[in-house]
Amino acid sequence: MATTTKKPTSKTVTQVTATKSVDVKTTVKEKVMTEKAKPTKKPVELITEGALLKMSDKDYMNPAQLEFFKDRLQKLRDDILKNADATTENLRENILVPDPADRATIEEEHALELRTRDRERKLLKKVEQALGRIESGEYGWCEETGEAIGVSRLLARPTANLSLEAQERRELRQKLFGD
């Protein structure tokens, strides 16, 4: 579902007082971040995925949604780190096998596990970046267009930093120009 909500952008606001006009440079983004950063009296309870999908567009990236995605990203990060530790332990085990075919099979399994961990290492970097965007107030907004990425896309890929349309354009450019 595409939304037309725009990311808060920097704008100069002219404030007119009774006697003169004063240029006040402030950003809408700073106002939004200030409102989100205000301490709440009670901690935000985690909402369910179903409740998240039922929320209206005006509730997009409210504190409850941000907390939901932050929790999901932290769990993903913890799982990746746990898998990395398990891989380290598996690779430390020295299994002596006299048969060359069995040894080759074990080495191939190790290589496959290392490739998987390498992909997870790259995913871990994206998870850390997404957590940083949550802290900065930029999570959920397309880096290219400034439009909302959409809750359904973020549920499918919590590390997404582009809207579906922007990602499709990027993939088309890569296909055509080999970026």
Per residue in 15-30, pLDDT (tens digit) is 333 333 333 333 333 4
Q: pLDDT confidence of 11, banded at 50, 70, 90?
A: very low
Of 59 and 1, the structure prediction assigns the larger pLDDT to 59
Q: pLDDT confidence of 6, banded at 50, 70, 90?
A: low
Complete DSSP assignment for the chain: ----PBPP-EEEEEEE-SS-EEEEEEEHHHHHHHHHHSPPSSPPPPPPHHHHHHS-GGGTT-HHHHHHHHHHHHHHHHHHHHHHHHHHHHHH-----SSHHHHHHHHHHHHHHHHHHHHHHHHHHHHHHHHHHHHHT-TTB-TTT-BB--HHHHHH-TT--S-HHHHHHHHHHHHHH--
Mean pLDDT in the chain? 79
- In tens, the pLDDT along 132-169 reads 999 999 999 999 999 999 999 999 999 999 999 999 99
